[in-house]
Amino acid sequence: MWPFDPDDFLSHPVNHENRSDPDALYFCMMGDQMLSISEGGIPRAIEADEFRWLDVETRSKNYLGAWRNQPCFALDIDGDVPPGYAVSDLRGWLGRVEPGMFYLAGRAKQIVEMVRTNQFCGRCGAKMEDHRSDRARSCPACGFVAYPRLSPSIIVLVRRGDDMLLARNFNWPQGMFSTLAGFVEPGESIEQTVHREIKEEVGLCVKNLRYLGSQSWPFPNSLMLGFHCDYDSGELTFHDEEIAEARWFRFDDLPNVPGATAISRWLINSFIEEKQQNSN
């Protein structure tokens, strides 16, 4: 089953910049780290009543929307880590919080980054300000508008009979494998990216592309578009310095693969479920 939860949608009132609520959740970025409270080893966002007692500087505050009727904000803060709180990379939230909370934290991280990197206009140099109606920064002098950066990318499971192709990046631990992935280049369609990336990374030609779904991946700003495709021709060869090894694995005999939060695992599980259903 492809993960989907309607409750993970956010509502977006127009006048978000002045919205406040004592029941709000604050997703606070301190540098490149997320400030959080840990409950039983599980991080969580900071409640508005907790935040008002913290001795930190708020550099920016942006309304994210209402999640399960609870208003949420992205804050860029500066100061020392308060007693009882902790900072961690957002990857530390993966698999430890429910998916909706992870996506909210990822959205907050990207909104904070948009504000940080658009303090001044890249066209005329004037000071930027929040756009009145869009999720963007605008220049009052020349009218230039800067939107949050999104980098579309593909992630693909290549199939061959009962086998799936998995690869290990040079930077990953021994024994950790995942699906192939890569960024869309200017002028490419998504389908062209799938064919090019697989050919470049492992030397194979594929066919029968099938889109399964997508995932926001805030490392730092990707939108992952997930596919299955079938092996067509070629021998496994590594053409770049990214892939340490790539191998075919039978669907019921897998190596160490990413956890359930990652779209790569969704692609793998979808193939396994299909094969198990066909064998019954």
Q: What is the spatial distance between Cα 173 and Cα 165, in angstroms, rounded to a whole number?
A: 18
- How many structural domains comprise the chain? 3
Please tell me whether residues 158 and 62 are part of one structural domain: no
Is 128 domain-assigned? yes
Domain housing 12: 6-116
Is 38 domain-assigned? yes
Q: Return the residue matching tokens 């500066």.
A: 78
What's the confidence (pLDDT) of residue 9? 59
Buried b (16+ CB within 10 A) or exposed e, 158-187: bbeeebbbbbbeeeeeeeebbbbbbebeee
Residue 173: CATH number of its domain: 3.90.79.10
Please tell me whether residues 138 and 173 are part of one structural domain: no
Q: List all residues 6 or more positions away from 187 whose beta carbon is below 8 Å from its beta carbon.
A: none
Is 71 domain-assigned? yes
Q: Which of 245, 214, 205 is nearest to 150 (CA)?
A: 214
Based on its alpha-carbon atoms, the radius of gyration of the chain, rounded to whole angstroms, reads 21
Q: CA–CA distance from 235 to each of 201, 207, 209, 249 (Å)?
A: 12, 15, 19, 15
Q: Which of 250, 260, 210 is nearest to 230 (CA)?
A: 210
pLDDT tens digits for the chain (280 residues)?
A: 456 565 565 665 444 444 557 789 999 999 999 999 988 889 999 999 999 999 999 999 999 988 888 899 999 999 999 999 999 999 999 889 988 899 999 999 999 999 999 999 999 999 999 999 899 999 999 999 999 999 999 999 999 999 999 999 998 999 999 999 999 999 999 999 999 999 999 999 999 999 999 999 999 999 999 999 999 999 999 866 789 999 999 999 999 999 988 999 999 999 999 999 988 7
Please tell me whether residues 167 and 219 are part of one structural domain: yes
Is the distance from CB of 188 to CB of 196 less than 8 angstroms?
Answer: yes
Q: What is the spatial distance between Cα 101 and Cα 104, in angstroms, rounded to a whole number?
A: 5
Q: What is the spatial distance between Cα 63 and Cα 263, in angstroms, rounded to a whole number?
A: 27
What's the confidence (pLDDT) of residue 18? 46
Annotate 63-104 with three-state secondary structure: EEEEECCEEEEEEEEECCCCCCCEEECHHHHCCCCCHHHHHH
Is 1 domain-assigned? no
Please tell me whether residues 10 and 94 are part of one structural domain: yes
Q: Which of 45, 49, 101, 98 is nearest to 75 (CA)?
A: 45
Domain C-terminal end among 116, 136, 171:
116
Is the distance from CB of 57 to CB of 79 less than 8 angstroms?
Answer: yes
